[in-house]
Structure 1
Amino acid sequence: MPPTSETLTAERILEATEEVLRRHGPAKATVVDVARALGVSHGSVYRHFRTKAALREAVTKRWLDRTSERLAGIVDAEDRDPERRLRDWLAALFAAKRHKAGDDPELFATYTVLTDELGGVVHEHIAELTGQLTRIVMAGAGSGDFSVPDPAAAARAVFQATCRFHDPCHAREWTAPGIDEEFTAVVDLLVRGLSSPSR
């Protein structure tokens, strides 16, 4: 049964939008397509999202947030020391990006286009991720595991140094032979660079 204006939620609209984007791609997907998929008028969709751009921004943010939410649990995992948290966080980021690219390539390609169009959403996502990394590095500095004068700068450097393993422009490389060994080598090098000389 199609939703009524009372039961139609922003979340249902975003779910339908994702499916429409998967089917039609960002160039052809319209608000009318989303409304049709939901069995409502396009005016009902516009009551939740005032413009097509706002809808695209919200669905892109939702897609990116899935990754940052998945990683957030690692940041405060007190059963792991900061080095383990850093390694696990970077591995989880790489795995999440590979999962998105490999398991749903059409949607991944669609979101790559949308993130290029929606720079603000991407900058917020990167700020969230580097903020998570900063908290891990700060914990390491506090425990003496890491020797860094500026944890935020160190976190940004770690993020940039590992971009090959999470930036969508490198997605074709993520299934290359030896990529896991290369990832481990980069992370090992970064951990040695952060580690306190006394360790």
Structure 2
Amino acid sequence: MAATTETLTAARILEATEEVLRRHGPAKATVVDVARALGVSHGSVYRHFRTKAALREAVVKRWLDRTLEELTAITSDEGRTPETRLRDWLTRLFAAKRDKAADDPELFATYFVLAKETQAGPAVGEHIDDLTGQLTRIIEAGVESGAFAVSDPAVEARAVFQATGRFHDPDYAGEWLRPEADADFRAVLELLVRGLRSGC
């Protein structure tokens, strides 16, 4: 059944946009294609998203937020020690990114292109801020419990995020399925945890 402008929501538009992107790719997908998939005029889509760039930014944000939700649960789980939270958080981040790349490589490639296109917009920067903010909270909890010996958790969080970039930055997606990827990840994780414990 075709959507009407009365029942059209931003969420429905974003779902349809994702399907259009999957079918046509970022170079060929248009707002008209999205509107056609919804059974509405392209003007109806523009009432929710003023430009094609705004629509693409919102799609990227929605995609990035899916990973963030899983990590938020780990960050706030006080039943785990801060060190366990850090290990689980970084492991889940790597797994989530790798799963996205392996399960739907065409859509992952599409989002990678869109994320590069929209880097000047707020979605990617806000996502990185959210991730490093969560890492900061985990490291702060570690400092408070005596598990970590660092003076500036925010600085350390950024360092941890950057040091593990090979395991979550889409630029490295081609390496994630290599046989040694898990061993490399564990080695980096152990090195980082030792550094946080010692304050080095």
What TM-score, normalized to structure 1?
Answer: 0.97
| Mapped partners of 1:195, 1:40: distance in 2 | 57
| Structure 2 residue 191 is the aligned partner of structure 1 residue 189 | yes
Q: How far off its partner does 1:22 sit?
A: 0.8
| Equivalent residue pairs, number | 197
Of 168, 171, 175, which residue of structure 1 is paired with 2:173? 171
Partner secondary structure for residue 40 of structure 1? coil
Matches within 5 A, 1:103-182: 103-119=103-119, 120=121, 121-182=123-184
3-state SS of 1:195 partner? helix
Which residue matches 1:20? 20
What is aligned with 1:68?
68
Classify the secondary structure of the residue corresponding to 2:127. Answer: helix
Question: How far off is 1:123 after superposition?
Answer: 1.1
Instruction: In structure 2, list runs of 5 or more residues that go unmatched.
Output: none
Q: Distance in 2 between matches of 1:194 and 1:45?
A: 48
- Alpha-carbon separation, structure 2, partners of 1:49 and 1:122: 18
* RMSD between aligned residues: 0.9
Distance of 2:169 and 2:47 partners within structure 1: 34
Shift in Å, 1:151? 0.1
Letter in 1 for 2:83: E
AA partner of residue 28 (structure 1): K
Return structure 1 stretches of 4+ with deviation > 3 angstroms.
none
Out of 185-194 and 119-128, give the one that drifted further.
Answer: 119-128
Percent identical = 74
Q: Matched residues in 1 for 2:36 and 2:141: separation?
A: 50
What is the CA-CA distance between 1:69 and the residue it aligns to? Answer: 1.2
Contact kept? 1:60, 1:115, Cα under 8 Å: yes
